[in-house]
A = this chain, B = another copy of it.
C-alpha cells in the first residue's frame, strides 16, 4: 500500500522500476546540446505525414514502439499518455493501433510528470505490472493551435519559450531490473492561478505552481533542497526558473547548483534563438529520457526530484481573455 504522508506527497510501497526510456526528437532539438543523446532525430517536421498533427501522432507511435522494444516487451498492461493538441489527439491517434488499454491524461506540459506519477501509483497498487508512460508535443502544431499561424511570421517576445518537438516515453514495471532507476515518491499538484494572462510568458504563469508543490513537498517531508543531487522542473525556462528560485527563497528554501530546468537544458541560449528556453510536454519528457535517465542508470545521479510544469490555458480561454491556471506534478527517482 502506498502511504500519503501529506496533502501532496505519497510514498510508494514498492520500488517502481523504469526499465526503459525512449526519445524521438525533431531537427532543432537534435541540433541542441542534447542532440547526440536522443535515440532518434528526424529532419522533416511533417515526419512523412499530411499534417503536423498526424506527424505528432506517428512520432508518438514510433517512440512508444521503441520504448517497448528497448524493454523487450510486445505490450504493457496499460498506456498513459497525453499531449498539447486539442482532445489529446496526438496520443489517441498514436496509440489507436497498439492494442494496449489506454488512459488519456491532460496536464499540459506537466503531462509527463502526471504520467510517471499515475503510472507508478497504479503499478504500486497492483492495478498493472507494466505501464507505458509518455508525452509529446510539436512546435508547429502547438504554435498554430495556441498562438498564431506560423506563416504569419509573428515576432516572438523575449519571454516566450519554444515548444519542443518530439516524444519521450518510459516503461514502468514492478519487476526488478538491476541498474534501473526507481520511482519512490509521487507529488500531485493543485491548479494555481495567479492571474497571469500572457500566453507568451508561460514561465511566469507556471512558476507559482512549481513553487507551491515544491514548498509543500519540503514541508511535508522535512527535507531540504540539498537532499537531492538534481532537482529539475519541466519547462519554466529562464524567466520561470528565476521566479521559482525567488519564490522558494521567500519560503526559506534555497535552490542551488543542483537545480535546473529542462527548458534550459534542451536548447543553446546563444545560438538557437529560443529566447526563454524550451517548453511543451516533450521538453521534460525528452530531457528526462535522453539525459537524466542515463545518468540515473549510470549512478551519476543518486536522488532526483523531477517536476514537470504545465500551463492549463486553452486557445478558447486565451481568446476570451482569461488568466492561465497552472499545475506541477512530480516524482522522486533514485538509483541504487
- The residues of A with any CB-CB pair to B shorter than 8 Å are 1-4, 7-8, 10, 13, 50-51, 53-54, 77-78, 82, 84-89, 92-93, 95-108, 114, 118, 121-122, 124-129, 145, 186, 188-193, 312-317, 320, 322, 325, 327, 329
> How many copies altogether?
2
> Once the chains bind, are B188 and A102 in contact (CB under 8 Å)?
yes
CA distance A36 to B54 in the complex (A): 45
> Once the chains bind, are B317 and A93 in contact (CB under 8 Å)?
yes
- Report the minimum CB–CB distance from A153 to chain B (whole Å): 22
> Once the chains bind, are B4 and A128 in contact (CB under 8 Å)?
yes
> Once the chains bind, are B102 and A88 in contact (CB under 8 Å)?
no
- Chain B contacts for A100, CB-based, 8 A: 190
> Once the chains bind, are A96 and B325 in contact (CB under 8 Å)?
yes
> Once the chains bind, are A101 and B190 in contact (CB under 8 Å)?
yes
- Chain B contacts for A93, CB-based, 8 A: 312, 317, 322, 325
CA distance A129 to B6 in the complex (A): 12
> Once the chains bind, are A92 and B316 in contact (CB under 8 Å)?
no
Instruction: Determine which of B4, B97, B104, B125 lies in contact with A77 in the assembled complex, contact meaning CB atoms within 8 Å.
Output: B4
- Report the minimum CB–CB distance from A253 to chain B (whole Å): 20
Closest to A14 in B: B1
- Chain B contacts for A7, CB-based, 8 A: 77, 101
- Report the minimum CB–CB distance from A290 to chain B (whole Å): 26
> Once the chains bind, are A126 and B13 in contact (CB under 8 Å)?
yes
- Chain B contacts for A188, CB-based, 8 A: 78, 101-103
Closest to A100 in B: B190
- Chain B contacts for A125, CB-based, 8 A: 1-2, 121-122, 124-127
- Chain B contacts for A102, CB-based, 8 A: 188-191, 327
- Chain B contacts for A325, CB-based, 8 A: 92-93, 96
> Once the chains bind, are A104 and B96 in contact (CB under 8 Å)?
no
- Chain B contacts for A105, CB-based, 8 A: 103-106
> Once the chains bind, are B106 and A114 in contact (CB under 8 Å)?
no
- 6 new A-B contacts, CB < 8 A, other than A2-B126, A2-B127, are A3-B126, A7-B77, A87-B106, A87-B315, A89-B314, A103-B329
- Chain B contacts for A107, CB-based, 8 A: 103-104
- Chosen A-B contacts, 6 in total, with CB atoms closer than 8 Å, are A10-B128, A97-B193, A103-B329, A104-B107, A104-B312, A105-B105
- Chain B contacts for A118, CB-based, 8 A: 103, 118, 122
- Report the minimum CB–CB distance from A305 to chain B (whole Å): 17
> Once the chains bind, are B86 and A315 in contact (CB under 8 Å)?
yes
Closest to A105 in B: B105
Instruction: Determine which of B4, B78, B121 lies in contact with A129 in the assembled complex, contact meaning CB atoms within 8 Å.
Output: B4
Closest to A329 in B: B103
- Chain B contacts for A191, CB-based, 8 A: 92, 95-96, 102
